């Protein structure tokens, strides 16, 4: 195992030994290539550089309490990558190609997988670009799919803590019938300005509302939102919200714990009725929300300085599955080694 100060890792890129690549030329995919090269040779007129034909995924591998290394729900990430590729009219890789590359990258970079007990994990980033050179706006027949990884630290260094969030109606993250429900680069570029503005004001994240009426909750930064009340897990249902695999997992676990689950429109006016609120995603699993400030109405919704009981239960249970501390009843983990 690599000699790394695992406890000091952040969510940053660290060079590892190998990455996996597939090249698509005129609609035909190559065999998988393994390389230690961190760089990509690309034509200056490649479609991804001009027209945003770029997408990515994020998932993690965990070294468990039993010493085994587990990939969490890799097939779900592969399916979502396919959805993104279809939306951008890119060649669509098979699920088997994506899963095989993820497994291979984990195996070949085994010395960079953090030890159990450090709170760190091995983050995998599949990323895909349209590479056809040209000037016209049209689908790319050529593409490059790269899967690489990096060890990342525990999201909450001092333990899971609630964060401050602000609602910003000045900017929309995604429009109805746009690309909000797929994981493409443009969605994240669209969130940078409001995110930076929020950070300058002391907020950890920006809550985005629907682009049509600015009335319903959509996403919380780059993460899905959920609220807890009356023994119910409630999360937004919208065709411009990214279908988070973490959220999908939490909905199942909420049911396992005896909670009701609702996917529906959540008006901002409903925020005062929630007992707990949080954001969920691959990086942190759950980021509890302590308060939400509405920049427009100047109203603050407060949920406390402590992590809610249900949020903590869900967070702990999902982490227990990922680290092999409890039974994987839903067969979410792929044991790599």
**Could you read off the pLDDT of 221-260 as tens digits, one per residue?**
999 999 999 999 999 999 999 999 999 999 999 999 999 9
CATH label of the domain that carries residue 130: 3.30.470.10
Residue 10 covered by a domain: no
Bridge partners (DSSP) listed for residue 264: 236
Extended strands (E) in the chain: 19-25, 28-29, 33-35, 54-56, 59-63, 69-72, 121-130, 143-152, 163-167, 205-209, 217-220, 223-229, 232-236, 260-264, 276-281, 285-294, 300-302, 333-335
Average pLDDT over residues 37-51: 97
107 given a catalytic annotation? no
Taking the CA of residue 20 as centre, how many other CA atoms within 13 Å lie in the half-sphere pointing to its CB? 21
Question: Do the bridges between strand 28-29 and strand 33-35 make them parallel or antiparallel, or are there none, so unpaired?
Answer: unpaired
Dihedral-angle region of residue 66 (phi above 0 means left; psi in -120 to 50 means alpha; beta otherwise)? alpha
Same domain membership, residue 135 and residue 187: no
Do residues 145 and 186 share a domain? no
pLDDT, tens digit (0-9, with 9 covering 90-100), for 269-326:
999 999 999 999 999 999 999 999 999 999 999 999 999 999 999 999 999 999 999 9
Angle between helices 245-256 and 74-87 (to 10 degrees): 140
Judge whether 8 lies within some domain: no
Q: Are residues 167 and 302 in the same domain?
A: yes
Please check whether residue 282 is in contact with residue 59, taking contact to mean a CB–CB distance below 8 angstroms.
yes
Cβ proximity of 45 and 135 under 8 Å: yes
Distance CA 168, CA 197 (A): 9
DSSP per-residue letters across 23-69: EEETTEE---EEE--------TTBHHHHH--EEE--EEEEE-TTS-E
| Token digits of residue 85 | 């590729």
Same domain, 170 and 236: yes
The residue among 129, 150, 171 that closes a domain is 150
Residue 101 has pLDDT above 80, yes or no: yes
Number of folded domains that form the chain: 2
Q: Mean pLDDT, to the nearest integer, of 77-104?
A: 98
Q: How many CB atoms lie within 10 A of CB 170?
A: 11
| Final residue of a structural domain among 150, 175, 190 | 150
Average pLDDT value over all residues in the chain:
96
Evaluate whether residue 36 is within a structural domain.
Answer: yes
- Whether 227 maps to a domain, the answer reads yes
Has residue 116 been placed in a domain?
yes
How would you classify residue 20: left for phi > 0, otherwise alpha for psi between -120 and 50, otherwise beta?
A: beta
239 contacts 251 by C-beta, under 8 angstroms? no
Dihedral sign of CA atoms 255, 260, 261, 267 in order: negative
What are 74-83's pLDDT values in tens digits?
999 999 999 9
Residue 40 placed within a domain: yes
**Residues 176 and 118 both lie in one domain:** no
Let me know: does 218 contact 174? Beta carbons within 8 Å.
Answer: yes
pTM of the shown model: 0.96
Q: Answer with the one of 150, 170, 197 that is the final residue of a domain.
A: 150
pLDDT for 2: 72
Poorest-confidence range of 38-47, 167-176, 206-215, 244-253? Answer: 167-176
3-state secondary structure of 140: coil
The two most distant CA atoms of the chain are separated, in Å, by 56
Among 28, 100, 183, 260, the active-site one is 183
144 domain-assigned? yes
Residues 305 and 169 in one domain: yes
Based on the fold, state whether residues 72 and 192 are members of the same structural domain: no
* pLDDT on residue 157: 66
User: 146 with 169, same domain?
Assistant: no
- Domain range spanning residue 303? 161-321
pLDDT digits (tens, 9 = 90+) for 133-165: 999 999 999 999 999 999 999 877 667 899 999
Q: What are 106's two structure tokens?
A: 């984990």
Pair 85, 139 in one domain: yes
Position 9 in a domain: no
Is residue 103's pLDDT more than 80? Answer: yes
Domain harbouring 236, CATH code: 3.20.10.10
The number of beta carbons lying within 10 Å of the beta carbon of residue 137 is: 8
Is residue 146 domain-shared with residue 172, that is, in the same domain? no
Same domain, 104 and 44: yes
Q: Are residues 265 and 288 in the same domain?
A: yes
- In the prediction, which pLDDT does 267 show? 98
The pLDDT value given to residue 154: 81
């Amino acid at each position: 195992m690599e000699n790394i100060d695992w406890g000091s890792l952040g969510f940053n890129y660290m060079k590892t030994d190998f990455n996996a690549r597939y090249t698509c030329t005129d609609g035909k995919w190559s065999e998988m290539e393994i390389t230690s090269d961190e760089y990509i040779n690309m034509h200056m007129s490649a479609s991804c550089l001009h027209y945003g034909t770029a997408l990515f995924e994020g998932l993690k591998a965990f070294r468990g309490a039993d010493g085994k290394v587990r990939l969490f729900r890799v097939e779900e990430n592969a399916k979502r990558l396919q959805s993104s590729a279809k939306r951008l009219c890119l060649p669509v890789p098979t699920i088997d190609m994506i899963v095989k590359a993820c497994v291979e990258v984990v195996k070949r970079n085994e010395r960079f997988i953090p030890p159990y007990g450090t709170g760190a994990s091995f983050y995998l980033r599949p990323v895909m670009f349209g590479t056809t050179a040209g000037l016209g706006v049209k689908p790319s027949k050529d593409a490059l799919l790269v899967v690489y990884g990096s060890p990342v630290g525990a999201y909450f260094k001092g333990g899971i803590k609630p964060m401050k969030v602000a609602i910003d109606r000045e900017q929309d993250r995604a429009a109805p019938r746009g690309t909000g429900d797929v994981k493409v680069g443009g969605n994240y570029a669209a969130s940078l300005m409001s995110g930076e503005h929020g950070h300058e004001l002391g907020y950890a994240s920006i809550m985005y509302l629907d682009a049509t009426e600015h009335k319903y909750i959509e996403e919380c930064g780059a993460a899905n939102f959920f609220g807890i009340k009356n023994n119910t897990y409630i999360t937004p249902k919208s065709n411009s919200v990214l279908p988070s695999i973490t959220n999908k997992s939490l909905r199942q676990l909420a049911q396992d714990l005896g909670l009701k689950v609702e996917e529906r429109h959540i008006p901002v006016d409903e925020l005062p009725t929630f007992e707990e609120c949080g954001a969920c995603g691959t990086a942190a699993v759950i980021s509890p929300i302590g308060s939400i400030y509405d920049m427009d109405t100047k109203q603050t919704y407060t949920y406390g300085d402590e992590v809610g009981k249900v949020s903590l239960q869900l967070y702990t249970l999902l982490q227990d599955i990922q680290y092999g501390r409890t039974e994987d009843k839903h067969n979410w983990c792929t044991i790599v080694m």
